[in-house]
Amino acid sequence: MDSLLSIPRSVEWNHTHLTILNQQKLPNETEYLELKDIQSVWDAIATLKVRGAPAIGITAAYGLALAAHSYQTNSLEDFRNLLKKDRDYLASARPTAVNLFWALDRLMASIANVSSVADAKKALVHEAIRIQSDDENTCRSIGEHALSLFQEGDRILTICNAGSIATARYGTALAPLYLAKERGIRLHVYACETRPILQGARLTTWELMQAGVDVTLITDNMAAQTIKTKDITAVIVGADRIAANGDTANKIGTFGLALLAKAFNIPFYVAAPLSTIDLSTKTGADIPIEERPSEEITELAGTRIAPPGVKVYNPAFDVTPHELITAIITEKGIISGHYESVLTALFKEEIKR
Ligand code: MRU
| Substitution site in 198, 250, 257, 269 for ligand 1 pocket (most atoms within 8 Å of beta carbon) | 250
pLDDT tens, residue by residue, 144-189: 999 999 999 999 999 999 999 999 999 999 999 999 999 999 999 9
pLDDT at 189: 98
pLDDT tens, residue by residue, 244-269: 999 999 999 999 999 999 999 999 99
Average pLDDT, the chain: 97
pLDDT at 6: 81
Spacing, Cα 19 to ligand 1 middle (Å): 20
pLDDT at 353: 72
pLDDT at 351: 77
pLDDT at 301: 85
Q: Is 240 a catalytic residue?
A: yes
Measured CA to CA, the distance from residue 161 to residue 163 in angstroms comes to 5
pLDDT at 3: 67
Spacing, Cα 75 to ligand 1 middle (Å): 39
Asked if 24 contacts 47 with a C-beta cutoff of 8 angstroms, the reply is yes
In this structure, the residues whose C-beta lies within 6 A of any atom of ligand 1 are: 48, 51-54, 97, 160, 162, 166-167, 171-172, 199, 238-240, 250-251, 316
Measured CA to CA, the distance from residue 183 to residue 153 in angstroms comes to 13
The share of the chain scoring above pLDDT 70, in percent, equals 99
Q: Which of 331, 166, 185, 178 is nearest to 250 (CA)?
A: 166
Nearest ligand 1 atom to alpha carbon 171: 15
The reply to whether the predicted model has a pTM over 0.90 is yes
Catalytic residue among 135, 220, 240, 247: 240
Nearest ligand 1 atom to alpha carbon 160: 10
Residues in the chain: 353
ipTM more than 0.90? yes
Spacing, Cα 79 to ligand 1 middle (Å): 33
Measured CA to CA, the distance from residue 150 to residue 179 in angstroms comes to 11
Task: Flag whether pLDDT at 1 surpasses 60.
Answer: no
Give me the mean pLDDT over the 42-55 stretch. 98
The share of the chain scoring above pLDDT 90, in percent, equals 95
Residue owning the nearest CA to atom 6 of ligand 1: 52
- Strand locations in the chain, DSSP E? 11-13, 18-21, 32-35, 155-158, 188-192, 214-218, 234-237, 241-243, 248-251, 268-271, 277-278, 299-300, 303-304, 317-320, 327-330, 333-335
| Substitution site in 139, 193, 240 for ligand 1 pocket (most atoms within 8 Å of beta carbon) | 240
